[in-house]
Structure 1
Amino acid sequence: MNRAVALRIAACGLMGLGAALLMAALLLTMYTSGRVAKIPLNIDTTLVSEGTATALDPTSLTTGDPFVITENTPVVLQRQITVEAPSNADVVTLQVGDTLRRTDQQQDNGLLLAMVDTVTLDRSTAMAVSSDTNPGGAVQKPRSIEEENPPTNIALPHDGLSYRFPYDTEKKTYPVFDPIAQKAYDANYDGEEDVNGLAAYRFTQDVGYDGNGPDAKLSDPLKYASLYENDEDGQVTARAALWGVEAEDPEEPITMTRYYAAQRTFWVDPVSGTIVKSKEHGFHYYARDALKPEVTFADFTVESTEDTVESQVASARDEGDVVALWSRILPISFTALGLVALVGGVLLGAFTLRAERALIDPGLDEPDHGFFGRRPTDSGPMPAAEAQTEKLPSQRPPDRH
């Protein structure tokens, strides 16, 4: 194989490589990035929020004395998130266990709230995959501490987002499901804020309040959706003395209904949709009139701990790096390399063609020679024929007089 043939093969190889790289960049942009930007299937995390509360002392429920409500009680909200079946290329099922505890009491004596929620989400949109015929979600029926039977799930159709926002989160309003209220409420975009170096979108959600903030008032609190068959924690009858309310007869039985309202703030990584930080104000109370709370069960405000924020920011960055690699870095790199390879192949091919023509006819390599052949002026006579002919001077005729 001579050098000219080798150069021709190299030129074709470069152009083929350039075309392949450009095609790969196009495929990554159109198909692969969409398959990568999905909720991971390996979620296993514990989120912790701390704060204070005005809360019922659970031990006072069994003493026969008036219910004891304490203020400035330290509380911790712990959320455990794991992936369960069914989970596949299209959907992921999250099981989320929430507990709110008073940290000033030991073991289960300080337990105020507990719930296990399960929801199946579309991995691309983060929306619940649920309907009346296929709920795609459930809550666990409460059990006593001594109960040994396995937990029982109660089907609960979910809608909207749950525990995640979608990839490429936008500055708009999203419906976010509240498992206690058992329905979705709007989470409104409220600005951008730096969270540990991450530019996060802030969303606020109001459940039963007329706004989000310390000055917000109860506007439409919800009757607590009890998970017991007999609604034993949704409506309670007790002596007036136990409730601590005024009555002509302290032994008079008074029935009160449990109500619920909440305010939430989410800080969301817009690339991955990960909630990197959250703040929640929950209000559970008993009353005979929904807008006139009489006995507080738990009025708490908690915010993500610094360790939780750091962990969530790191997780969001990891997910964002994977998406950036497949949707931006690799396509841009492949496009640049593809263009370089194509241009290099074309230039090498042009050089090879010129070299081959020069070998066939050395005159073809002269500066006044066209790349595709002789110029039109090259079709004239040979140089020897172009030599000037010397002209002899003519003789003057003799002068005759």
Structure 2
Amino acid sequence: MRRAFGLILLALGVFAVAGAVLLPTYVYPKLAKVPLDQDSTSLLEGTASQVLAVTDNGSGPVSAIRKDAKLTATAHVQANFAAPEMHQDTDYAVWLLAVQVTDDADNTVLSASKRQVCFDRRTGEGYEPRGESDPKCDAKSSFVTELKDKADKDGQKPPETNDYKAQPGLQFKFPFGTEQQDYKVYDDNTGAAVTAKYSGTETVDGIETYKFVQDIPDTKTATKDVPGSLVGSADPTVKADLYYRGVNTLWVEPVTGIEVKQQQQQHQELRSGTGQPTVVFDGTLAFTAETVAKMADQVNANKGRLEFLSSTGPLWLGIGGGVLIIGSIVLLARRRRAEPPVAPRGKQPPRKVLFTAGP
């Protein structure tokens, strides 16, 4: 009985130790991936000391600089299941991001952008083709939509064109198991991966986060045909370069890689070379309290499971398995103390006969 019990403990111990090894090395990599089915909206609010608004009063577009505007940015992320990468057990996802910034005073759309990217579901990094014979992402799965400066006809919306190109750097989130180090994060305005430097820890909505700061230097992003009056020229239309600089601050929960909070300080100006630059945007936008709470809920729903697979589960299984194995060895090594032999039934030991001398 003791031997059987010892063997059972040994089997359970080996099973637990095997689980401690397999959870972080096999199960965790299989499950630590962003979901394919994505359809979410994030809101950012803030103010701009100066912002360009283009409106149409029926006689054509009119450009004007607005002061001290209250703004709302809506960012909608949606999975594109028509992309060839979007199949069961894929390691890559294709998501479409559309961002629109409006003036709260009259809901005027101040800017709008759209891009689609194929990225790694585990690391969050945008795919960059490097000449592989079997590329992981299709050439047309990543693009940035560009809006032409002018419509083909008056009263129509300027046509859109897709510029198919890679978008390097982290996309939408940080890696699972984010570390206290610098990361390259894709910047929508410059179309480049810019370093986000680790700058410490902060608690956001009850969640401990790593804080990253992305400082984007003055960068030329486009050349546009703009009204001469906008840049101090007497000509009806002039070419001007659009420059951008900004500071993006990201608060990331390290286990899940979710950006719990985000803040964007942006400055854009037009430079025509004929006078002082014209500031067309100078303001700060940040996640609303509702968006922060939604991100925190996502962290709370996933953090425990990821920690179990990567750390707490293997730790307790390893400890428990070790204890079981030691206990089984102790039981199997013990021997019963030797007992005196028992005579076979039916046989009696010979009797001693005492002889005494007679008189």
Match status 1:236 vs 2:225: yes
Match status 1:333 vs 2:316: yes
Aligned-pair CA distance for 1:326? 1.1
The one-letter amino acid of 1:154's match is: D
Query: Aligned partners of 2:6 and 2:299: how far apart in 1?
Result: 44
Task: Map 1:233-382 onto structure 2 (within 5 A).
Answer: 234-239=223-228, 242-243=229-230, 245=232, 250=234, 253-289=237-273, 292-294=276-278, 296-350=279-333, 353-354=335-336, 357-358=338-339, 361=341
Query: Aligned partners of 1:30 and 1:286: how far apart in 2?
Result: 52
- Which of 3, 6, 9 is the matching residue for 1:14? 9
TM-score by length of 2: 0.79
TM-score by length of 1: 0.71
Cα 1:16/1:255, change in 2 over 3 Å: closer
Per-residue CA deviations over 1:110-139 (Å, capped at 9, x if unaligned) read 111111111111222222112276545212
Cα 1:70/1:141, change in 2 over 3 Å: closer
- Which of 46, 49, 69 is the matching residue for 1:73? 69
Aligned to 2:34: 39
Aligned to 2:23: 28
CA contact (8 A) 2:209 2:251 kept: yes
Cα 1:113/1:40, change in 2 over 3 Å: same
Structure 2 gaps, min length 5: 132-137, 343-359
CA contact (8 A) 2:225 2:237 kept: no
CA contact (8 A) 1:112 1:298 kept: no
Aligned-pair CA distance for 1:316? 2.2
Cα 1:167/1:336, change in 2 over 3 Å: same
CA contact (8 A) 1:259 1:286 kept: yes
Aligned-pair CA distance for 1:236? 1.5
The one-letter amino acid of 1:15's match is: L
- Which of 48, 52, 56 is the matching residue for 2:47? 52
CA contact (8 A) 2:190 2:219 kept: no
Moved over 4 A (4+): 60-66, 132-136, 143-147, 250-253
Aligned-pair CA distance for 1:223? 3.1
CA contact (8 A) 1:67 1:244 kept: no
Cα 1:132/1:235, change in 2 over 3 Å: farther
Per-residue CA deviations over 1:212-261 (Å, capped at 9, x if unaligned) read xxxxxxxx33132xxxxxxxxx422434xx3272x6xx566543333333
Which has a greater percent of strand? Answer: 2
Higher Rg: 1
Aligned-pair CA distance for 1:333? 2.7
Per-residue CA deviations over 1:179-230 (Å, capped at 9, x if unaligned) read 331211111112221111222111111223xxxxxxxxxxx33132xxxxxx
Aligned to 1:166: 175
Aligned to 1:199: 208
The one-letter amino acid of 2:7's match is: C
CA contact (8 A) 2:189 2:221 kept: no
Identity across matched positions, percent: 24
Mean Cα deviation higher: 172-181 or 38-47? 38-47
The one-letter amino acid of 2:309's match is: W
Aligned to 2:104: 103
Aligned to 2:145: 140
Query: Aligned partners of 1:94 and 1:66: how far apart in 2?
Result: 34
Per-residue CA deviations over 1:5-45 (Å, capped at 9, x if unaligned) read x4432221221121121122122233222333333334332
The one-letter amino acid of 1:21's match is: A
Residue correspondences, number:
324
SS at match of 1:59: strand
Cα 1:83/1:67, change in 2 over 3 Å: closer
Cα 1:347/1:291, change in 2 over 3 Å: farther
CA contact (8 A) 2:249 2:264 kept: yes
Structure 1 gaps, min length 5: 1-5, 209-219, 225-233, 363-401
Aligned to 2:353: none
Task: Give the alignment's Cα RMSD to 1 decimal.
Answer: 3.1
Cα 1:254/1:42, change in 2 over 3 Å: closer
Per-residue CA deviations over 1:297-330 (Å, capped at 9, x if unaligned) read 3322111111111111221233321211112232
